[in-house]
Amino acid sequence: MKKILILIIGLFSTQLINADNTYAQWGIGAGVEIRDEDPTTGVGIKLERELLSKAPIVDLNLRGHFSWFSDENAESIYPSAINTPVDVYDYGAALVFGVKLGLVKPYVGAGIGTERYSEENNSMDNFYWNGLGGAEITLLPYLKPFIEFRYSKLVDTDEIRYDNYNRLAIGVNFRF
């Protein structure tokens, strides 16, 4: 009985270590995003394509992402508009490098994108670059919760008070 129990634990342990061997090439993720400027809370989606599908430990993905933030009572960046509805849309692309460590895959990446800030009749577009880091946890072969921190630097933002901002994203990836 002792040998059978050791064998079962051993087989289960190897499955946990190799739980990410499904070689998923596409991923779709969604989650909540919190940033340090108004509007502070939003939603985001991302689409990833794995570039190194057969690599045993390393992971390289090309990612496209879209985020939407909205608030009725956000402070305006324009002096004449106070407490007006504000919408912020941003979309971009990034290259993400990860390391598969059993159930956890830490990753880092860098990318570019554009942000559209609009309120009532005013809107502006800004270009940005960003760096990101996070971790993905394998609960099931296809479902992977993640937590991610992103630092963005806006370019040519003479009218905006904040030219760099931080963002925390928490969500779930579906890999297939």
Domains and CATH numbers, the chain: 2-175 (2.40.160.20)
In the prediction, which pLDDT does 19 show?
Answer: 47
| Rounded distance between C-alpha atoms, residue 117 and residue 68, angstroms | 10
Provide the whole-model pTM. Answer: 0.77
- Per residue in 49-59, pLDDT (tens digit) is 999 767 788 98
Write the secondary structure of the chain as one string of H (helix), E (strand) and C (coil).
CHHHHHHHHHHHHHHHHCCCCCCCCEEEEEEEEEECCCCCEEEEEEEEEECCCCCCCEEEEEEEEEEEEEECCCCCCCCCCCCCCEEEEEEEEEEEEEECECCEEEEEEEEEEEEEEEECCEEEEEEEEEEEEEEEECCCCCEEEEEEEEEEEEECCCCCCCCEEEEEEEEEEEEC
- Residue that has been written with the tokens 């570039």 in this structure: 51
Tokens of 144: 């992977």
- Per residue in 38-48, pLDDT (tens digit) is 788 999 999 99
Residue 67: burial class (beta carbons within 10 Å; 0-12, 13-18, 19+): buried
Look at 163 and 61; give whichever has higher pLDDT. 61
How confident is residue 20, by pLDDT bands cut at 50, 70 and 90?
very low
